[in-house]
Amino acid sequence: MKAYEQMTKEELLQEQEKLQKEYKGFEEAGLKLNMARGKPESAQLDLSMPMMDLVDSKSSCLAEDGTDCRNYGEMDGLPEAKKLMAEIMECEPEQVIVFGNASLNVMFDSIARAMIHGVCGGKPWGQQGKIKFLCPVPGYDRHFAVTECLGIEMINVPMNEDGPDMDMVEKLVASDPLIKGIWCVPKYANPTGISYSDEVVRRFAKMKTAADDFRIFWDNAYCVHHLYEEPEKQDKILNILDECAKAGNPDRVLEFASTSKITFAGAGISAMAASEKNLEDVKKIMTIQTIGHDKLNQLRHVKFLKDRAGVDAHMMKHAAIMRPKFEKVEEMLAEEITPLGIGSWISPRGGYFICFRALPGCAKRIVALAKGAGVVLTGAGAPFPYGKDPEDAVIRLAPSYPNMEELVMAAKVFICCVKLASVEKLLAAKN
Give the Cα separation of 340 and 426 in Å (integer): 12
Residue 352: per-residue pLDDT: 97
Structural contact between residues 27 and 427, judged by C-beta atoms closer than 8 angstroms: no
Residue 60: per-residue pLDDT: 95
Conformational region of residue 186, where left means phi above 0, alpha means psi within -120 to 50, and beta covers everything else: alpha
Residue 122: per-residue pLDDT: 97
* Phi, then psi, of 6 in degrees rounded to 5: -90, -5
* Phi, then psi, of 10 in degrees rounded to 5: -65, -40
Residue 320: per-residue pLDDT: 98
pTM of the model: 0.96
Residue 37: per-residue pLDDT: 87
Residue 1: per-residue pLDDT: 79
Give the Cα separation of 259 and 86 in Å (integer): 12
Residue 163: per-residue pLDDT: 98
The type of residue at 211 is A
Kindly report, residue by residue over 362-394, the tens digit of the pLDDT. Answer: 999 999 999 999 999 999 999 999 999 999 999
Residue 406: per-residue pLDDT: 96
Residue 68 DSSP label: B
Taking CA 390 as the corner, what is the angle to CA 413 and CA 200, rounded to the nearest 5 degrees?
Answer: 100
Q: Which fold has domain 4-44+313-430?
A: Aspartate Aminotransferase, domain 1 (3.90.1150)
Q: Which among 77, 379, 89 has a CA at the least distance from the CA of 219?
A: 89
Using DSSP's 3-state secondary structure scheme, residue 307 falls into coil
Q: Which residues pair with 341 in a beta bridge?
A: none
61-306 has the same fold as 4-44+313-430: no
Chain mean pLDDT for the chain = 97
Alpha carbon distances (Å) from 242 to 226, 247, 292, 405: 23, 9, 29, 44
Residues of the chain with pLDDT under 50: none
How many whole angstroms from its chain centre is CA 213? 25
Give the Cα separation of 249 and 101 in Å (integer): 29
Give the Cα separation of 137 and 187 in Å (integer): 15
Its CATH architecture, for the domain 61-306, is: 3-Layer(aba) Sandwich (3.40)
Residue 93: per-residue pLDDT: 98
Kindly report, residue by residue over 139-187, the tens digit of the pLDDT. Answer: 999 999 999 999 999 999 999 999 999 999 999 999 999 999 999 999 9
| Domain ranges for the chain | 4-44+313-430, 61-306
Q: Virtual CA dihedral for 102, 106, 109, 113, nearest 10 degrees? A: 170
Alpha helices of 337-403 — where are they, by DSSP H? 363-372
